[in-house]
């Protein structure tokens, strides 16, 4: 039995459409496909980025993106959020003036599925962060979290071509977001944490996508100490996780998984 506070929007028909398709037996079927649309983000009067997204939770996506890029520290800095659906734009207005012209010049294209982009010095954003070392996780907790998440109706199961990210406590998945790129899904969680003033230091982050350097850096920046994925990982992601003592668990399928970093938080049963 799941008690998600936020769950995938599987019945939101604005997020997918049906297209005629031929199957392997030459039968015509109506196939549901995800709708991908642009969202241009402005910080005050400065255009920051245009993101390709499914379009749900645009405010969380924008706030989380700015936070993960080091352009926004807290919701107390925000004066107003203006979402213009018809113009496919969102403007975040802050109490103080901002200018990130130099930061925007230093751009790195990441390995995100929809070509994620990060700005500035990646590592400097997490240098001063220390993760909670007291939280622990057991084998059965990993199995149960994965089972609940994978059995929950989702856009991934309905239409595919999408990734999910879930913020959990040690026994229950709580907030489940999806998007065409996993970097968008994690930014939605970052935006949620800021907007709802959630303390993530005792929580777990689960993603359906692979564990890249971008995912690890964003997880550390949100101060989440445990990261779980049913997919694999990159070498740089492992190096960063070890340096920052992040517990990184990959290839979590059924009762199997691999711990690449931070195994001191894992308690064998």
- CATH code for position 135: 3.40.140.10
d(CA 6, CA 212): 25
Model pTM? Answer: 0.90
Distances from the Cα of 95 to the Cαs of 40, 72, 81, 204, in angstroms? 21, 11, 12, 32
Phi, psi of 26 (to 5 degrees): 65, 25
Q: Tell me what pLDDT residue 56 has.
A: 95
Distance, in Å, from the CA atom of 66 to the CA atom of 193, rounded to the nearest integer, reads 13
What mean pLDDT, rounded, does the chain reach? 91
Helices 58-68 and 213-221, packing angle to 10 deg: 90
Task: Find the range with the poorest average confidence among 12-21, 100-109, 143-152, 240-249.
Answer: 100-109
The neighbour count for residue 18, using CB atoms within 10 Å, is 12
High-pLDDT (> 90) share of the chain, %: 83
What do you get for the CA distance between the two ends of the chain, in Å? 24
Contact in structure between 246 and 227 (CB atoms under 8 Å): yes
Residue 140, Cβ density class (10 Å: 0-12 exposed, 13-18 middle, ≥19 buried): exposed
pLDDT at 226 (0 to 100): 98
Q: What is the pLDDT of residue 129?
A: 95
Asked whether the beta carbons of 30 and 19 are under 8 A apart, the reply is yes
d(CA 260, CA 180): 26
The answer to whether the beta carbons of residues 58 and 39 sit under 8 Å apart is: yes
pLDDT of residue 269: 74
Q: How many domains does the chain have?
A: 1
Which residue range forms the structural domain that includes residue 232?
1-269
Q: Residue 218: its pLDDT value, please?
A: 94
Q: C-alpha 222: how far from its chain's center? A: 11
Structure tokens at 248: 């990184």
Instruction: Give the β-pairing of 247-253 and 256-261.
Output: antiparallel
Two tokens at 62? Answer: 């924008």
In this predicted structure, what is the pLDDT of residue 100? 78
d(CA 202, CA 136): 9
Is the pLDDT score of 1 beyond 90? no
b/e string for 50-73 if b means 16 or more Cβ within 10 A? Answer: ebbbbbbbbbbbbbbbbbbbbbbe
The arithmetic mean of pLDDT across residues 217-238, rounded, is 95
Cα–Cα distance, 74 to 71 (Å, whole number): 10
Confidence tier at 10 by pLDDT (50, 70, 90): very high
């Amino acid at each position: 039995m799941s008690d998600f506070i936020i769950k995938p929007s599987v019945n939101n028909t604005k997020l997918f459409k049906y297209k005629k398709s031929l199957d392997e037996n030459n039968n015509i079927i109506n196939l549901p496909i995800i709708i991908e649309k642009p969202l241009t983000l402005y910080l005050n009067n400065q255009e920051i980025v245009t993101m390709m997204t499914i379009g749900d939770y645009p405010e969380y996506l924008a706030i989380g993106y700015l936070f993960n890029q080091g352009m926004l520290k807290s919701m107390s800095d925000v004066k107003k959020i203006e979402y213009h659906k018809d113009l496919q734009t969102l403007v975040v207005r802050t109490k103080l003036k901002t200018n990130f012209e130099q930061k925007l010049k230093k751009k790195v294209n990441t390995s995100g599925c929809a070509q994620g982009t990060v700005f500035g010095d990646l590592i400097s954003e997490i240098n001063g962060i220390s993760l909670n070392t007291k939280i622990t996780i057991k084998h059965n907790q990993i199995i149960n979290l994965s089972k609940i998440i994978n059995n929950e109706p989702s856009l991934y199961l309905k239409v595919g071509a999408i990734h999910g990210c879930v913020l959990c406590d040690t026994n229950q998945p709580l907030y489940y977001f999806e998007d065409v790129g996993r970097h968008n899904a994690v930014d939605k969680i970052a935006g949620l944490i800021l907007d709802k003033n959630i303390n993530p230091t005792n929580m777990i982050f689960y993603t359906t996508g692979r564990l890249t350097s971008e995912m690890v850096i964003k997880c550390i920046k949100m101060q989440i100490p445990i990261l779980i994925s049913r997919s694999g990982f990159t070498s740089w992601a492992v190096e960063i996780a070890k340096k920052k003592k992040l517990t990184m668990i990959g290839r979590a399928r059924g009762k199997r998984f691999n711990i690449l970093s931070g195994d001191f938080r894992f308690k064998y049963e």
